[in-house]
Structure 1
Amino acid sequence: MGFFQLPICYKGSLCCQLFLFFICLLIFQHVTAQQTQPSSLLEFAKEPVSEQPGLFDPIDISPALIPKYQYPIEPLPPMYPIFPTRYEPILSGKCPVNFSNSELSIILDKTAADCSAPLAPLVGNVICCPQFSSLIHIFQGFFTNNTDQLVLPDTVADHCFSDIMSVLAGRAANSTLPTLCSIKSSNFTGGSCPVKDVSTFEKTVNTSKLLEACSTIDQLKECCRPICQPAIMNAALQISGRQMMFNDNENVVGEMNHTDYLHDCKGVVYSYISKKLSFEAADTAFRILSACKVNKVCPLTFKEPSEVISACQNVAAPSPSCCNSLHTYIAWLQKQMLITNKQAIICATLFGSMLRKGGVLTNVYELCDVDLNDFSLPAYGLPEGCLLRSLPANVISDNSSGISFTCDLSENVAAPWPSSSSITSVSLCAPEMSLPALPTSQTFKNIGCNSSGMGFLVLIFFIFPLQCIVVLKRF
């Protein structure tokens, strides 16, 4: 019996020290086994950073960090696409353009990436359609580069447009771009614009002033203190023959902005700019002009928020029924598309004005912790919406890392509650603009990208909350 008895260990004895050592070893192994995966992921997340980043540097998240679901229990989110295969397109042979031209090919590649098949409907308003429109303008100038014309002949416009779509589809772009972006082959022809050649254009328009205004655009000033936009409009009015009417009657301007001939003449002006600028300069200019346009309106579709109004009409303090109803409605909005930070301000203000009109006078955004990024689609791996920056952005695509784009996490702030139910427009230009206050330590309630298996990202985004590079891996 005494053989099986545990030895008596006295304090300070070798036996006692060995016994405590083995107990500590077992505890250490147990804790290490639980912490190994998050720790290794944290170190892996730091690998792409070659030097200590500053506060305004983007955070590179390796595609390998995105969880791989071999047998998903439920369908994967829309931001986790299956990439179509690239293929060599079949061209009509009736469009006299060398699509393998290096400069043209770069713009085609960029457009195909921005309008990739699975993502185009989600980024169409902000990224895809502005780039597709820019491609159309640049191609029009490229086609007429060695001629005195500014438009494509009717006989080849359809063929060239069809070939462009074939090339883009062959590079994995969405095949529904003409419908998605409301662009058709007639955009190439100048339509009803009376001036379609360079000679007449240069006799009618002060081209040096036009090119000076649009060659180098300040993307931070153009949207609020425009220089290029009025120059393009003035040139379009001049070649349309309506400049005198514009000077005589200011009330005509509202009607003229909606007529086909003015739209067609603006297309001719874009073509002239494309002929005179490099592909890169023209694309940059056109994208900035598009950014100014899309950031003025909310692209989301709203349904009548009757349930939210009913649940929130008389609340003065946080209410579970009100907040649940509000979050359910916003979750429906959030599924529509990715939007920019400026669009989110407009969308939040517009929705708030709808609630105020229905009788909800309390700031339910504050009561229910509604942020700006709640109005934009979440990127895969992010629990909150991904707000795109208001400046022109592009999707980055390559065969090894998949596709990526930048989320602006600096707008993780409370959604603005309108002061009136009759708000029709929101100014985002100084000194008129009034942005929400920056978050304090108490308002960082949902900071970071916390999801199952990715909790380590909370620390990373708390330290660098300004930008986040979201990478979608091709598996």
Structure 2
Amino acid sequence: MDCVKTTAHFKGTFCQQFLLFIIWLSSFQDVVALQTPPEPIHLSPTSELASPPSSGLFQPIEISPAVIPHYPFPGEPLSPMYPSFPTTYDPVLTGRCPVNFSAVSSIMDKTASDCSQPLAALVGNVICCPQFSSLLRIFQGYYSTNSDKLVLQSAVAKDCFKDIISILASRGSNSSIPTICSVKSSNLTGGSCPVKDVITFEKTVNTSKLLEACSTIDPLKECCRPICQPAIMEAALQISVTQSPINENKYAFGEPNRIDALNDCKGVVYSWLSKKLSLDAANTAFRILSACKVNKVCPLDFKQPSEVIKACRNVAAPSPSCCSSLNTYIAGLQKQMLITNRQAIICATVFGSMLQKAGVMTNVYELCDVDLKDFSLQAYGQQGCLLRSLPSDVIFDNSTGFSFTCDLSDNIAAPWPSSSSFSSLSLCAPEMSLPALPTSETLGHSGCRRGGLEFLVPIFSFFVFSTLLYREI
């Protein structure tokens, strides 16, 4: 018997291996189901190169132009909500950034894809912003390749930053990346860090130790048993206390300046690493370090759940009013963004703690059948997606649009916080206590076939691979 009869039956089934659906940003409507999704095509950074501007102070910019996605309803007029991508490569450059951008074209191409116009705000916390931050760090190191500097001067930083944003926008990325990711051109200048040149840096820091710690990073171990992170922090501390006569009184007015200097110095350390590592090695390392950071915090904005508290405070058994109020509140969270499996655990714990502090002591997640994926963006009913905690990228396919991999953990109940302090929560084995595996009852019919289902909605798509959360964490 086919295990998929309706879309509603699809929630939580462990049988489904692939799930592809494209989300209409405003309405999440007009879904057409098809069988067996096509494989995504990875575009090469050097494919379909367009002719760059003929003038400028740099070599040709070899970055692939954006490919217009196929409108799924060719017989109908183009929807105003369907994104429009440039058909020609035409960035508006300042002409004052003396950089051969073609040397970092592969990283620019990856960033433009990860920060694509319709997706950037939805995947900004997990995919776009970490990749954009990595691009800037790599660019900062590349800029100073032929000099002893590790930073850019303020005026040059502004010009180069504008050119980077313009090039990315011409590739179909969201032009609001600086706002989405809270990044400025000053991030390229080293800020208040007192050490900004290679000679002083290498005299002050044990560079062999730093390079050994960060050349190859284990993505499964670094976040829980870090090696590179403490090496970067140690190097940043060492150069942050190196004072020149001009800077001797820099911290006289308070401790926050020391924190600013330390953060700025971490940027200088990243710049030095960028000079020593290959583009791919640096990007991989920086993305892993970003993943360690973003997976420690829930990025969702929780408003005061007054209605949930009122409806659920004294329940001890399934209550329609409690579950209705809880589901309505969570439905609002689902409109914010896509989050990772680890972030979902933290978000569920944070929200549960809010309810507990307000007097809701019963595990309403269990009473109302709340899963981890319920805290992430949804499409067409209850088709949730949890991104993997490991770094991932958005892929553009000219037949299916933008896609990214989701890590669905079917029927994994949202963890209700224990009586112990939230500060004791750990996502690192063996300290971590994971939710229970789905039972045979929750998996449905044991004889279900592993079928694929594809959902098509204008704007973008993403592939979902059903893999266990436990195997990654």
TM bracket (short chain)? 0.7 to 0.9
**Equivalent-residue separation in structure 1 for 2:230 and 2:98 (angstroms):** 34
The answer to whether the aligner puts 1:341 opposite 2:341 as a matched pair is yes
Cα drift, residue 449 of structure 1: 8.7
- Counterpart of 1:90? 92
Cα drift, residue 154 of structure 1: 2.2
Aligned residues of 1:190 and 1:264 also touching (Cα < 8 A): yes
Task: Map residues 69-84 of structure 1 onto 2, 5 A cutoff.
Answer: 82-84=83-85
Cα drift, residue 84 of structure 1: 2.7
SS of 2:179's partner is: helix
Aligned residues of 1:89 and 1:166 also touching (Cα < 8 A): yes
Pick from 36, 45, 69 the counterpart of residue 45 of structure 1. 36
Cα drift, residue 123 of structure 1: 0.4
- Counterpart of 1:34? none
Cα drift, residue 98 of structure 1: 1.4
Supply the AA of the counterpart residue of 2:401: G
SS of 1:408's partner is: strand
- Counterpart of 2:27? none
**Equivalent-residue separation in structure 2 for 1:337 and 1:417 (angstroms):** 22
Query: What does the per-residue CA deviation read over 1:390-448, in whole Å, with 9 as the maximum and x for residues that have no partner?
Result: 00011001333311001111254000001138524621012221111111122247999
Query: What does the per-residue CA deviation read over 1:36-65, in whole Å, with 9 as the maximum and x for residues that have no partner?
Result: xxxxx999517759xxxxxxxxxxxxxx9x
Aligned residues of 1:381 and 1:451 also touching (Cα < 8 A): no
The answer to whether the aligner puts 1:427 opposite 2:417 as a matched pair is no
Task: Map residues 102-113 of structure 1 onto 2, 5 A cutoff.
Answer: 104-113=104-113
**Equivalent-residue separation in structure 1 for 2:74 and 2:364 (angstroms):** 37
Q: Structure 1 146/112 Cα, relative in aligned 2: closer, same or farther at 3 Å?
A: same
The answer to whether the aligner puts 1:115 opposite 2:115 as a matched pair is yes
SS of 1:100's partner is: helix
**Equivalent-residue separation in structure 2 for 1:409 and 1:189 (angstroms):** 41
The answer to whether the aligner puts 1:384 opposite 2:398 as a matched pair is no
- Counterpart of 1:151? 151
**Equivalent-residue separation in structure 1 for 2:419 and 2:75 (angstroms):** 50
- Counterpart of 1:182? 182
The answer to whether the aligner puts 1:365 opposite 2:365 as a matched pair is yes
Supply the AA of the counterpart residue of 1:419: S
**Runs of 5+ unmatched residues, structure 2:** 1-31, 41-68, 244-254, 458-462
- Counterpart of 2:312? 312
**Equivalent-residue separation in structure 1 for 2:443 and 2:179 (angstroms):** 41
Task: Map residues 18-29 of structure 1 onto 2, 5 A cutoff.
Answer: none
Task: Map residues 236-385 of structure 1 onto 2, 5 A cutoff.
Answer: 236-241=236-241, 259-378=259-378, 380=379, 383-385=382-384
Supply the AA of the counterpart residue of 2:98: P
Aligned residues of 1:383 and 1:451 also touching (Cα < 8 A): no
Supply the AA of the counterpart residue of 2:36: A
SS of 2:396's partner is: strand
- Counterpart of 1:100? 102
Cα drift, residue 136 of structure 1: 0.3
The answer to whether the aligner puts 1:410 opposite 2:409 as a matched pair is yes
More deviation, 425-434/205-214: 425-434
Aligned residues of 1:356 and 1:420 also touching (Cα < 8 A): no
Aligned residues of 1:387 and 1:407 also touching (Cα < 8 A): yes
Cα drift, residue 114 of structure 1: 0.5
Q: Structure 1 83/308 Cα, relative in aligned 2: closer, same or farther at 3 Å?
A: same
Q: Structure 1 425/119 Cα, relative in aligned 2: closer, same or farther at 3 Å?
A: farther
**Equivalent-residue separation in structure 1 for 2:37 and 2:175 (angstroms):** 38
Aligned residues of 1:116 and 1:172 also touching (Cα < 8 A): yes
Q: Aligned pair count?
A: 389
SS of 2:36's partner is: helix
More deviation, 405-414/125-134: 405-414
Supply the AA of the counterpart residue of 2:385: C
**Equivalent-residue separation in structure 2 for 1:396 and 1:416 (angstroms):** 32
Query: What does the per-residue CA deviation read over 1:189-244, in whole Å, with 9 as the maximum and x for residues that have no partner?
Result: 1111111111111111010100000000000000000000000000001111179x
**Equivalent-residue separation in structure 2 for 1:206 and 1:81 (angstroms):** 52
Query: What does the per-residue CA deviation read over 1:117-148, in whole Å, with 9 as the maximum and x for residues that have no partner?
Result: 11111000000000000000000011101111
Aligned residues of 1:256 and 1:262 also touching (Cα < 8 A): no
Q: Structure 1 386/131 Cα, relative in aligned 2: closer, same or farther at 3 Å?
A: same
Supply the AA of the counterpart residue of 2:466: P
Aligned residues of 1:297 and 1:343 also touching (Cα < 8 A): yes
**Percent of aligned positions that are identical:** 69
SS of 2:147's partner is: coil
SS of 1:366's partner is: helix
**Equivalent-residue separation in structure 2 for 1:184 and 1:47 (angstroms):** 39
Cα drift, residue 465 of structure 1: 3.2
Supply the AA of the counterpart residue of 2:204: T
Alpha-carbon RMSD across the aligned residues, in angstroms, is 3.4
- Counterpart of 1:212? 212
- Counterpart of 1:397? 396
Aligned residues of 1:381 and 1:449 also touching (Cα < 8 A): no
Write 1 or 2 for the structure with the bigger share of helix: 1
**Equivalent-residue separation in structure 2 for 1:438 and 1:257 (angstroms):** 48
SS of 1:259's partner is: helix
SS of 2:286's partner is: helix
Q: Structure 1 355/44 Cα, relative in aligned 2: closer, same or farther at 3 Å?
A: closer
SS of 2:466's partner is: coil
Cα drift, residue 67 of structure 1: 7.4
- Counterpart of 1:198? 198
SS of 2:383's partner is: coil
**Equivalent-residue separation in structure 2 for 1:417 and 1:192 (angstroms):** 43
- Counterpart of 1:10? none
Aligned residues of 2:397 and 2:403 also touching (Cα < 8 A): no
- Counterpart of 1:251? none
Supply the AA of the counterpart residue of 2:368: C
- Counterpart of 2:5? none
SS of 2:102's partner is: coil
Q: Structure 1 179/47 Cα, relative in aligned 2: closer, same or farther at 3 Å?
A: closer
Q: Structure 1 343/411 Cα, relative in aligned 2: closer, same or farther at 3 Å?
A: farther
Supply the AA of the counterpart residue of 2:393: N
Q: Structure 1 403/371 Cα, relative in aligned 2: closer, same or farther at 3 Å?
A: same
**Equivalent-residue separation in structure 1 for 2:144 and 2:456 (angstroms):** 55
Runs of 4+ aligned structure 1 residues displaced above 6 Å come to 69-72, 445-454
Cα drift, residue 385 of structure 1: 1.7
**Runs of 5+ unmatched residues, structure 1:** 1-40, 50-63, 244-254, 455-459, 469-475
